[in-house]
Amino acid sequence: MCGIVGYIGEKQAAPILLQGLRRLEYRGYDSAGIAILDQGCIHRARSVGRIDNLIDAIGGKQFPGTMGIAHTRWATHGGVTEENAHPHSSCDGSLMLMHNGIIENYRDIKEKLGGEHVFRSETDSEVLAHLIEHHYQLLTGKEGDARLRLSVEAALSHVRGTYGLLVIHKDHPNCIIAARLGSPIAIGINLGEYFIASDPTPMLAHTKNVVFLDDGEIAAVTRSSLDTFTLKDEHIVKCVEQIDWNDEQAEKQGYPHFMLKEIFDQPTVFEDAIRGRYNLAEGTANLGGLNMTPTEMQRVSRIVLIACGTASYAAMVGKYAFERLAGIPTEVDVGSEFRYRDPIIDDRTLVFAISQSGETADTLAALREAKRKGAFVRGIVNVIGSTIARETDGGTYMHAGPELAVASTKAYTNMLAILLLYALQFGRQRRVSLATGQRLLGALREIPRKMQALFEQAPAIEALAKKYASYEHFLYLGRGINVPVALEGSHKLKEISYIHSEAYAAGEMKHGVNALLCPEFPVLAIMTKNQLYDKMRSNVEEVRARKSKVILLVNEGDEQAKELADDVLMVPPTMELLEPLLNTIPLQLFAYYIAVALDRDVDRPRNLAKSVTVE
């Protein structure tokens, strides 16, 4: 949520900052702002709504300058107004600040500052600008840019909450201060210039060399240097990391929406996810990031998969795989609930934190709780250098490339790939035979080709979506390993089309769901040929008996299934454990085309953000 961009160098800052904001639109926002420092003056513009509105607000005004900061805001404290948009200023306008996160004790700070400061917004963020101003006035004995940095350090020592912070001051024309606690900050390094952002996406066109701030760190960035400190004023040396995405990957490449591009990316990025991570001759996977000896792997008696949203549905598939292949009891925990119920964790528990961004606040808090309780903690993330990647003791990058649509598609299927490989790695050590391992890997290698074949149905799925776009309710049904597929399909439909949609294990229909069935409540049922095929067929018969329209997702060649359905989606057959990799794609396309038919903002649905970095 929210996006921060900063630039200092020799180029004009405004175009770089505005382009950076556009690259962060996927995070979700409701207002935007920019501040440029030039010749001792700070030029500021803010607006409600899209970045285009901010450009209109700038209008014909001159915003020259080679140093500045910009922000997209997602309202938490205070309504969606220009006054509440960032950047916020000190009383005299000398200092400008942008903040991601939540200041929990902002009321106390505001009260202590008293009547000496004039507050112009309803936000928690503005108190930081005044608090830093207060300490800046106290540090009159300090000279140079250190005065600004130390003022920020002093202010943050009074703060309870989370922040990703950028600060500029008119008397420090060669310095941007950045700080981080719980909300990510990345600093891109290029010759004679630096880029600062909430994640590396805005800087991909300029550099791949990035430093990531850790919690409790503050950076002073000038045109010629980057110095990092702790909040106790201890100088620290940071490692520069290489980002393996490129700018072209972050563009739409001719697709009307990022979401459609990312759906069609799946065969390629799936191959990236599994490449070099399996041994067909041995019938096993080899994910070196696990960082566990064979003895430590044998000690694992329980696995906990922690995730939120779409990642949690991937985790549900992972549960089936770990229990079936490795025989290890596995639980799926929602990140936002995990630490509030005093979870039973010990040193024989392996915890996987799963997050596309690697910054999901609830998942991050949960993994920290698991570490405190002594578990093995590993991460499955997409963003190199993300907080979860740095705070776990190992793990695996999913190599999905930049995913800019809010609704996750390719990251989801790559999460499934990594979880399946981990399950096989544990399974081969415990009870899976060589032949079974080889058969599963052989089927896994066929998945990209079968994914590609599914895209030939896109025109037919688009026509089907237009047929059903006028319905106000939907029900998705699955059994066994396809229950999480139904949940994810329903999730996609509701988040981008705003249609009310529910998903259930089909065996639960008699326990309440049947009351919803009627001609106005269509049902999409997943009935591919696995061990629960006949059970699922009986459930579909129940739906038909209650006059709901039925869309069936079935395997190619299943002619009998067509007799039960009003409409059919076809997928190639595969091993049961791998079915979610294929069955999910038609549901992604179905949701996408319905949203397009309803003229929704597909890539940036209302009220949602790509990366949820506050609790």
The pLDDT of residue 441 is 97
Return the CATH number of 258-597, one of 3.40.50.10490, 3.40.50.970, 3.40.640.10, 1.20.120.330.
Answer: 3.40.50.10490
Do the beta carbons of residue 259 and residue 600 sit within 8 Å? Answer: no
For 482-516, letters b (16+ CB in 10 Å) and e give bbbbbbbbbbbbbbbbbbebbbbbbbebeeebeeb
| Catalytic residue, candidates 2, 208, 261, 308 | 2
Pairing mode of beta strands 523-526, 473-478: parallel
For 189-218, letters b (16+ CB in 10 Å) and e give beeebbbbbbbbbbbbbbbbebbbbbbebb
The pLDDT of residue 603 is 92
E strands present in 417-558: 473-478, 500-505, 523-526, 550-555
Do the beta carbons of residue 14 and residue 85 sit within 8 Å? Answer: no
Amino acid occupying residue 327: G
154-157-160 Cα angle (round to 5): 140
| Catalytic residue, candidates 261, 410, 450, 610 | 610
E strands present in 455-549: 473-478, 500-505, 523-526
The pLDDT of residue 492 is 98
CATH class, domain 3-245, is alpha beta
Which single residue is written with the structure tokens 């202010």? 155
What are the structural domain ranges in the chain?
A: 3-245, 258-597
E strands present in 335-398: 349-355, 376-381, 395-397
Q: Please state, as a whole number, how many other Cβ atoms lie within 10 Å of the Cβ of residue 113.
A: 15
610 catalytic residue (yes or no): yes
What tokens appear for 5 in the block? 């961009």
Q: At what angle do helices 146-156 and 126-138 cross, to 10 degrees?
A: 120
In the chain, count H helices and then E strands: 19, 27
Alpha-carbon distance 69 to 56, whole Å? 18
518 catalytic residue (yes or no): no
Alpha-carbon distance 108 to 122, whole Å? 14
Long-range Cβ pairs for the range 227-234 (8 Å, 24+): 229/149, 229/153, 231/153, 231/156, 231/157, 231/179, 233/150, 233/153
Mean pLDDT by 10 residues, the chain (615 residues): 90 95 80 94 93 89 91 84 95 94 91 89 94 94 91 95 94 97 91 93 90 94 96 93 73 85 94 91 93 94 96 97 98 90 91 92 91 93 85 90 91 97 97 97 96 95 97 97 98 97 93 91 96 94 92 94 92 97 98 98 87 63
pTM of the predicted structure, to 2 decimals: 0.75
Do the beta carbons of residue 84 and residue 123 sit within 8 Å? Answer: yes
Give the length of the chain: 615
Alpha-carbon distance 584 to 574, whole Å? 13
Alpha-carbon distance 81 to 100, whole Å? 17
For 189, the 3-state DSSP assignment is: strand
The pLDDT of residue 25 is 79
Amino acid occupying residue 531: Q
Task: Give Dmax (Cα) for the chain.
Answer: 84
Do the beta carbons of residue 128 and residue 154 sit within 8 Å? Answer: no
